[in-house]
A = this chain, B = another copy of it.
Amino acid sequence: MSAGAGRATITDVALRAGVSRTTVSHAMNGKGTVSPATSERVRAVAAELGYEPNAVARGLRQSRLGVIALIIRPLDSLDTANPEGVDYFLRFAGSAALSAVDRGYGLLLASDPTRDDAPAPGPAADGFIVDSPVEDDPLIALLRRRGTPYVAVGVAPDSSDDTPAVTHDAEADTDRILAHLTAGGARRIALVTGTDRNDWNRVAHAAYVAWVQRHGHLVDVHALDESSGVAGGRALGLDLLSGKLDGQSGRGGRPDAVYCLTGRHAAGVADAAKELSLRIPDDVQVVAGSDAVMCRTSEPPITALDLNPEQNARTAVNALVAALSGQPPRWPLRGAENHLIVRESTSARR
C-alpha cells in the first residue's frame, strides 16, 4: 500500500492506479495527453488516497514556490513588546498578505537572512519585498547578486532610475508638514529623526534643513533611536521643551513645534509637553511623520502623516508578481500620495 506513515506521494498513486508517475502527473495537471478513462481513474485513486502534490518538491523542480517573502527592515530596530507602535508594519504586512493571496501567492514574513554571518539558507521564496531598506542594504545586494526578483519599498526619489522600488517623495512630505506647522504659527520647529540609516531618515533630515534655512528658521535636529519608543520621545521631549537643549545653531530657547518622524516618539514628546504644563498646540505643536494608533489615542490626538501602507503593499505585491511573470513594470513605481491627517495637536485649519 501507500507509505503508511505520512502523506501519499505520486508514487503511491501511480502504484495503486497501475500507471506510471508520468501519467499521474499528466492527469493531475492536465498536461500531455491522457485518455479520459485513465485520467479519471487516476484522479479517483488520488482522491481516495488523499493525494496532494508536495509543494516543496514541485517548487524544487519548477523553481516556483508560490511564495513572496516580506522583510520589514524597521522591525530589526524595534522592540516588539508594544504592537500599538508598530502600526505601519502590521498594516503593511496585512495588506501585502491579502494581495499576495489574491494573486495566488503566500506571503512569508521573515527576518533578515543576512543578519548573522552563518550561511543559513535564506527564506525559500520566489521573490522579495524589502520594506525601508537601509543604506547599502546587504540584503538588496544579496538579492541583486543572486538575481532574485525583489521590490524595495520606501526608497527616496533620488535613487537610481532603474531600481525596482515603490518610492515616495519624503521631501515633499517634509515640506508639507513644515508648511502646516508654520501656518499654525510655528517659528522654531525641532525635528526628531530616527537613527536607522534609511532614506526616510536621511531625506527628511535633508529636506528639513533646506526648508528651515530657506525660511530663516533655526536648525534644531535630534536623532533618537527608533527602538526607544515613547519613553525615548518623552525623555528627549523633557530636555527639548524645558529649553535645556540647544539646536545645532547653538542658540537657546525651546521650540514651538516638534516634528517627530515616528508616531511613538511624537506620543512621547506630547507626554513630556503635558508634564511640563505646556499646552498642545497653543504652546507647542506636535506632529508625527508616520501615523500610529498612539497618535490617535494620545490626548490631544496627534496630527500625522498617513503613509498608506496598505496601498503601497498592494502596489509592491502586484509589481513583484508582474516581475515574476516576466513582465516587470517600469521602475521605479510611484507609491501612494501621503496625506496629512490633521488632528488637534497642530493649530492650522485643515
| Residues in A lying within 8 Å of B, measured CB to CB | 5-7, 28, 46, 50-60, 65-67, 69, 75, 80, 83, 86, 89-91, 93-95, 97-98, 100-101, 106-111, 119-124, 142, 145-148, 293, 296-297, 310
Contacts and interface: CB of A to CB of B under 8 A. Distances in A.
Contact of A110 (B5, B101, B148): B101
A46 B46 CA distance: 42
A147 B6 contact: yes
Contact of A108 (B51, B107, B119, B148): B107
A140 to B, nearest CB: 14
A56 B59 contact: yes
Number of copies: 2
Contact of A53 (B80, B119, B123): B119
Contacts of A111: 101, 106
11 contacts: A53-B121, A58-B121, A59-B124, A67-B123, A80-B95, A83-B95, A86-B94, A94-B94, A100-B109, A101-B109, A101-B111
Given A67-B108, A95-B83, A108-B107, A121 B7 contact: no
Contacts of A121: 52-55, 58, 66
Nearest to A75: B98
Contacts of A54: 60, 121, 124
A5 B147 contact: yes
Contacts of A83: 91, 94-95, 310
Contacts of A145: 50
A117 to B, nearest CB: 10
A2 to B, nearest CB: 12
A296 B295 CA distance: 12
A241 B6 CA distance: 55
Nearest to A43: B119
